[in-house]
Structure 1
Amino acid sequence: VTLGSRYSFQLRPHAQFGNATLTDSPTRVLWVFT
């Protein structure tokens, strides 16, 4: 489950300051999948 671990790893530091920016949420998701 490389994608799952990578997603959680990127989402972990992003959740701290990314939670305030809802617009950056889909942007980060696209970046991870790309």
Structure 2
Amino acid sequence: MNAPKARLIPKTQPERDKDDTAEKKAPIVQPIPSVA
């Protein structure tokens, strides 16, 4: 899951960590609107 997202949206490590935390808090809702 994280691999394809990282490939589509290249970002810094802190940003990726923040996204991971958001996913853990709300796994159903997509934290990144650009993917939708």
TM-score, normalised to structure 2's length? 0.40
Structure 1 or 2: more helix by fraction: 1
